[in-house]
Structure 1
Amino acid sequence: MRTLIIGAGAIGCYLACKLSEAGADVTLHGLGPAFRRTAESGIDIATREDMRIRRVKVNCALSPPGPVGWDVIIFAVKAHDLPRAAQQFSAHARDGIIVLPQNGLPYWQFLRVAGAEARLASVDPGGIAESALPIAQIAGGVVTKGLTVLADGTLVETVLPADSFAFGDVVANSGVAKPVVSLLQSAGLPAIEVADIRIEKWRKLLVNVAFNPLGAISHLGFGEVLDIEAGERLARAILSEATEVAIHYGVRGLIDAEAALKRASSSRMHKTSMLQDTESGRRLEVEPIVGVLLELAHRAGLQVPTLETIGGCVRLIDHALVKGPIRQIAEKP
């Protein structure tokens, strides 16, 4: 399986490391000075349990490789970068299996489903990704894996029993998820095929929508936001409103708020992806995690005041990363 990974963030580098170590034919494409260093020297990776670093050499492409001959194309980019990446690499994805493991609800969540289709403008403005990627070739993914990139570039993984790489056919019975699961299993990853990937997308979102924004706002770990009454009250309100949106769209019984709070408390110091992005000066995944729920709530006429407020807060942080006093993105070479 000739595999192209587009995006050299934490998940892209992690998958490239694991597949390379397993002897797979994999190429990683990324941008920027940090990726040039990766191409020259490899990826340093360690587990949080012992922090023993190993260096993995990965086949890297500093420029987009040729578009022909790819069996699997993994778009390991943030959701807000997917439309642009999909357009740029549409020729690469013409004949292969397309893997989309982004956080939040994806643009295809309500496409090719029974009943009326619906498009999510918040995650795919103008339908760019939809027009670039053949939907029958997409394996949707939900990745549950603790990954952190240290200041020196070292990739640190936290190994937990809950680790999971779940994939499913976006178009029912297309059969594209099975080879992806086999590929990742061959690299020793806990990959599984699920019958309904859309349900798994909802399941993860209904937890992420509370703890990702609260982490970015407070700069506290996953469970630390619950240390004071105000944090727990906000988390419960967000979970409640998000669940109300899900129920309106026919999704029930996916989240136990008490279990979600307990899980957060057991992973106190874990930095959510949105907090890591804030600290690293990267754009936040506001729309797929919060914006999409607001879009769905407005469409249904639902009142979600806490989500509105939290959404405003993380949009301000995102704005500050580009144009405000933080200006981290603008300063990066």
Structure 2
Amino acid sequence: MAPLSLRTICIYGAGALGGTIAAKLALGLRERATVSVVARGEHLGGIRAGGLQVWEAQADSPLVAQVTATDNAAELPPQDLIITGLKGHQLDAAAPGIAKLLHDRTRVVMVLNGIPWWYFHRDEQSGHAERQMEELDPNGNLWRLIGPERVIGCVAYQGAEVINPGEIRLSNNGHFVLGEPSGEVTGDIETIAALLKQASINVSISPRIRDEIWSKLMGNAAFNPISALTRALMSDIMNNPALSAMVGQVMNEVRVVAEALGARLAISVDERLERSRRIGPVRTSMLQDLLAGKPLEITPLVGMVVSLGKLTGVPTPTSATILTLVTQLDRENLRAAG
């Protein structure tokens, strides 16, 4: 098979993470590739008016990148590479738009927190290969229109927040982990990783991307919903003995479910808790969405811990309680937002 061509690249969902990737690709690749973004609302207007502005950690001035920006994927030609910056609960509605951008060789890098819809595709660890999860892909649109065979998984360790329309602030230097669902180190993934590195994006390849997914979920399944329920920063949560104990309980439930599905986590709960104490006064993405009146990313981060616990026979009582509470919080918050 011929090497993957990467002349056209679309970032579908150019929020905090997607916008950061788009800006770095546009500035780093310049004439070597055409970079476009799909965004919406005031953020789209800001990108069109002043470009994507990205404040890196401790920077005195922002990176500024001009990109083609639209809220209608049909306005763009088929793309060689699509990188999604959408959250898991936003993907179903976006599937038809993403599908419009596909050609025969298009690869789709999905930057997602939590359990992704393609999780069991070519999974040799769990005993559930090719299982589809209705909670994550309720109409089967993602599996049918995009196809798990196109997907490259991506776990992002990048603190980022949209602070004004078109303007993004990063809290750290960031690191992205890529992995094929099959675990293979293919020519495609090597080509994509090399391209990202050319744009000064810190990236590595994992042959066990599910391990990376669960390792990050240990933190997200705990801190995101607890921060939304309490409106507390991560540092405040860790300084509260009762809340930090609850964080540890959720992390342990995540670890046991992950291991029941064949994942191997490189870090213990105690080590993860100790690292969390050093993160500082960070506002989680779920808390950001709550305060903005947006729908919360509940199912990939919390709901799937409970669902996959049931699938594997692992009790998840703390996660189940938090799921009930944060689901009601989401309903009330959206009602108040109008």
TM-score (ref. length: structure 1): 0.90
1:185 Cα deviation after fit: 0.5
Q: Summarize the Cα distance change of 1:92–1:152 in structure 2 as closer, same or farther, 3 Å threshold.
A: closer
**Whole-angstrom CA distance in 2 between matches of 1:75 and 1:285:** 15
**Whole-angstrom CA distance in 2 between matches of 1:31 and 1:218:** 29
Secondary structure at 1:223 match in 2 = helix
Moved more, 150-159 or 175-184: 150-159
Which amino acid in 2 is paired with 1:108? Answer: W
1:30 equivalent to 2:39? Answer yes
Indicate if the aligned counterparts of 1:120 and 1:292 stay in contact, CA closer than 8 A: no
Indicate if the aligned counterparts of 1:225 and 1:232 stay in contact, CA closer than 8 A: yes
Q: Summarize the Cα distance change of 1:54–1:116 in structure 2 as closer, same or farther, 3 Å threshold.
A: closer
1:254 Cα deviation after fit: 3.5
Q: 2:179 corresponds to which residue? A: 168
Q: What aligned pairs does 1:156-195 form with structure 2 within 5 A after superposition?
A: 156-160=169-173, 163-173=174-184, 174-195=186-207
Cα deviation code 1:48-88 (max 9, x no counterpart): 42453343322212432456441101121111111221233
Secondary structure at 1:167 match in 2 = strand
Moved more, 78-87 or 172-181: 172-181
Q: 1:102 corresponds to which residue? A: 112
**Whole-angstrom CA distance in 2 between matches of 1:247 and 1:296:** 11
Identity of aligned residues (%): 27
**Whole-angstrom CA distance in 2 between matches of 1:221 and 1:51:** 25
**Whole-angstrom CA distance in 2 between matches of 1:32 and 1:152:** 9
Secondary structure at 1:149 match in 2 = strand
Q: 2:145 corresponds to which residue? A: 132
**Whole-angstrom CA distance in 2 between matches of 1:33 and 1:166:** 30
1:37 Cα deviation after fit: 2.6
Moved more, 19-28 or 145-154: 145-154
1:151 Cα deviation after fit: 4.6
Secondary structure at 1:150 match in 2 = strand
Indicate if the aligned counterparts of 2:296 and 2:330 stay in contact, CA closer than 8 A: yes
**Whole-angstrom CA distance in 2 between matches of 1:179 and 1:145:** 22
- How big is the alpha-carbon RMSD for the aligned residues of Structure 1 and Structure 2? 1.9
Moved more, 223-232 or 64-73: 64-73
Secondary structure at 1:155 match in 2 = strand
Unaligned 5+ runs, structure 2: 1-5
Indicate if the aligned counterparts of 2:78 and 2:103 stay in contact, CA closer than 8 A: no
1:219 equivalent to 2:231? Answer yes
Q: Report how many residues are paired.
A: 324
Q: 1:281 corresponds to which residue? A: 293
Cα deviation code 1:186-216 (max 9, x no counterpart): 1101111111212211111122111111222
Q: 2:216 corresponds to which residue? A: 204
Instruction: Specify which of 41, 44, 48 is matched with residue 39 of structure 1.
Output: 48
Cα deviation code 1:27-51 (max 9, x no counterpart): 0111213312311221222134245
Secondary structure at 1:142 match in 2 = strand
**Whole-angstrom CA distance in 2 between matches of 1:186 and 1:180:** 10
Unaligned 5+ runs, structure 1: none
1:145 Cα deviation after fit: 0.4
Instruction: Specify which of 60, 67, 80 is matched with residue 71 of structure 1.
Output: 80
Indicate if the aligned counterparts of 1:12 and 1:76 stay in contact, CA closer than 8 A: yes
Which amino acid in 1 is paired with 2:304? Answer: V
Which amino acid in 1 is paired with 2:15? Answer: G
Secondary structure at 1:178 match in 2 = helix
Moved more, 216-225 or 302-311: 216-225
Indicate if the aligned counterparts of 2:180 and 2:209 stay in contact, CA closer than 8 A: yes
